[in-house]
Structure 1
Amino acid sequence: MTDSIFRRLPVGIQSFKVIREENYLYVDKSDIVWNMVNLGDKYNYLSRPRRFGKSVLVDTLESYLEGRKDLFEGLKIMQLEKDWKQYPVIRLDMSRGGANEDTLRSYLNLRFKDYEEKYNITPDPTAMLADRFHAIIATAYKQTGLRVAVLIDEYDSPLQHSWRTPEHEKCTGVYREVFAILKADDEYEQFIFITGITKFTQISLFSVLNNLSNISFMPEYAAICGITEEEIKENFMPEL
C-alpha cells in the first residue's frame, strides 16, 4: 500500500484557498473556469443540487478574478491565463439571508457595510440598499480602474425558505429592488455569476435580470462542479 492512499480529501471544505494551501486533493476545473470567464457570456446563472460543489466553484472564481495566481500553480489554467488581473470582487452568500424580509435586509446591510468600509464609502443613512449597492460597484470600478465581478451564491435560499408564506413576496420585493442594479450598472461590471438550486421564473432576479444566460445545461459547463465518472477514475484510483 502506498502513501497516496492517505491523501487528504476535501470533504465538506468549501474554500478553494484552504484546499490548495493545505494540500487537499483538487479535481482540476480551472480550465472550465477560465473559458467561462473569458470566452463565455457576461451574465451567468448556474443551477445545481445541494452539496454539488457550487460554493467551491464560487470560491475558485473569486480567487481567479482577484488574481491569486499562487493558488493555481500546477493547474490547467496556468496554460491559458497570461495576464493575471486583480478585479474587484463583490461576493454575496444568500444562504445567510434567512427566510424573511428583515433577515434578508439585515444580511445585505452587513455585507454592503463591509464593502463600504473597504472602499472608504460613507453611505447616506437614508439611502436604500439598491443605492448603496450601486455606490459600491461604481466606487470599486473608479478606485481600481478595473470593472467589477459580482458573485452571488445560493441566490434562491431566502425564496426557498419563505415559499408559501407571507414573507415570500416581501423577499421577492427586496430582490427586485436590489439586484436590478446589476443590469443598470453594466458599464462598471466585468463578470456576473449566480448559483442556485431552482430558477424562480417571473420573480426575483429573473424579473429584473432578463439578460442572464442560463448555462446549467450547456455541455461545455456540464462538469464545472461535481465530479464525473471519468474524473473519479483519473483522480481517485488509490482510494478506489
Structure 2
Amino acid sequence: MAIYLNTNKPIENYKRLLNTEYFVDKSAIIEKINKIINTANCYICVTRPRRFEKSSVADMLGAYYSNSMESKYIFNTLNISKASNYEENLNKYNVISISFNKLSDRGNSYEAYIERIKSNLINDILEKYPEVNAQKYFSISDILESLNEKFIFIFDEWDYIFTNNLFTENQNDFLEFLRNLLKDQPYVALAYMTGVLPIKKYSSGSALNMFDEYTFLKDRSFGEYFGFTEEEVKKLCNRNFE
C-alpha cells in the first residue's frame, strides 16, 4: 500500500472535514491554483501559524488532483464546481503527498528521518511502475524524470525540522533534498508547500528560490482561504446557534 504516491489519505481526511458541523467551503482556491499548473509559476509556499487549516487545504488539493480516486462526487457539491476550469485538472495527476512532521521509529537521527522519506517514496514509485529498475538511477529525481509523466507535489509542514530545532547540522542537506527533487524538474506540474514560517527564514541561498511565498502578513492571493473570514464566522453562528 502506497504511503506518499496517489494514496487515499487526502480524500479520507477531507471527507471527515466535510462531515464536521463547522465546515466552510474553501474549494475556490483550486480555481486559482489550476491557472498556474504546468507554468513557470507552479511553485507555491503558503505559510501560516498553526490552526489555520493548512493541512485541510492540502488534503483538499490531494483529493481533487489525484488520479487514483474518483472525487467528482465530492467536489460537485462545492464552490469549485462553478468554475470554468473545474474539470480540467480533476483527478488528472499523480500526486505525491508528504507530511514532514513524522520521525522514524528506527532512530532519532537525521539519517533515519530522511531515509524513511526516501525509501517510502522509492517504494511507492516502484509499486506503481514495477518495470522501473531503480538501480540504474542515482536519485529519486532521475527516476521520476525517466517516467516521462507529470506529478503534483503537496508537502505539509515542510519546515518541521526547522521549527522544532531538529537535526540542526543537517538542515542544509534537507533543503538540498527538496531542491534536487523539485527545482527545474520537467515532471513537476505543481509544487504546493505549507509551513509555519517563510522559506527565507531558513534559506539565505538559492535552494528554494523558485517558490512564491504567501505569508500571514503578505498574501492578497490566498489569504481568504485560510482561517475564517468575518462573514464566514457570522454564517457559522447563524447556522449552528439559531
Give the alignment's TM-score, normalised by structure 1. 0.77
After superposition, the Cα gap between the structure-2 partners of 1:118 and 1:18, relative to the gap in structure 1 and judged at 3 Å, is: farther
- Could you list the per-position Cα deviations for residues 93-128 of structure 1 after superposition, in whole angstroms to 9, with x for gaps in the alignment? 111147741232133124312233223244229x65
Does the Cα contact within 8 Å between 1:154 and 1:196 map onto a contact in 2? yes
Does the Cα contact within 8 Å between 1:176 and 1:207 map onto a contact in 2? no
5 Å matches for 1:36-51? 36-39=33-36, 41-51=41-51
Could you tell me which runs of 5 or more consecutive residues in structure 1 were left unpaired when the two chains were aligned: 1-13
Match of 1:233 in 2: 234
1:119 aligns with 2:118: no
- Could you list the per-position Cα deviations for residues 58-89 of structure 1 after superposition, in whole angstroms to 9, with x for gaps in the alignment? 00011111262122121111111143342111
1:70 aligns with 2:67: no
5 Å matches for 1:86-101? 86-97=92-103, 100-101=109-110
Does the Cα contact within 8 Å between 1:152 and 1:193 map onto a contact in 2? yes
Match of 2:4 in 1: none
5 Å matches for 1:1-240? 15-20=13-18, 22=19, 25-39=22-36, 41-66=41-66, 68-80=71-83, 81-83=86-88, 84-97=90-103, 100-112=109-121, 113-120=123-130, 121-124=132-135, 131-136=139-144, 138-139=146-147, 142=148, 145=149, 147-162=150-165, 167-185=167-185, 187-201=186-200, 203=202, 207-216=206-215, 217-240=218-241
Report the 3-state secondary structure (helix = DSSP H, G, I; strand = E; otherwise coil) of the residue aligned with 1:227: coil
Does the Cα contact within 8 Å between 1:47 and 1:198 map onto a contact in 2? yes
Deviation at 1:33, TM superposition (A): 2.3
Could you tell me which runs of 5 or more consecutive residues in structure 2 were left unpaired when the two chains were aligned: 1-11
Aligned-residue CA RMSD (Å):
2.8
After superposition, the Cα gap between the structure-2 partners of 1:151 and 1:134, relative to the gap in structure 1 and judged at 3 Å, is: farther
Deviation at 1:17, TM superposition (A): 2.8
Deviation at 1:228, TM superposition (A): 1.5
Deviation at 1:204, TM superposition (A): 5.2
Does the Cα contact within 8 Å between 2:175 and 2:208 map onto a contact in 1? no
Distance in 2 (CA, whole Å) between partners of 1:134 and 1:233 is 50
After superposition, the Cα gap between the structure-2 partners of 1:197 and 1:134, relative to the gap in structure 1 and judged at 3 Å, is: farther
After superposition, the Cα gap between the structure-2 partners of 1:177 and 1:195, relative to the gap in structure 1 and judged at 3 Å, is: same
Does the Cα contact within 8 Å between 1:104 and 1:158 map onto a contact in 2? no
After superposition, the Cα gap between the structure-2 partners of 1:36 and 1:205, relative to the gap in structure 1 and judged at 3 Å, is: farther
Moved more, 168-177 or 47-56: 168-177
Moved more, 224-233 or 195-204: 195-204
Aligned length: 214
Does the Cα contact within 8 Å between 1:206 and 1:212 map onto a contact in 2? no
After superposition, the Cα gap between the structure-2 partners of 1:193 and 1:47, relative to the gap in structure 1 and judged at 3 Å, is: same
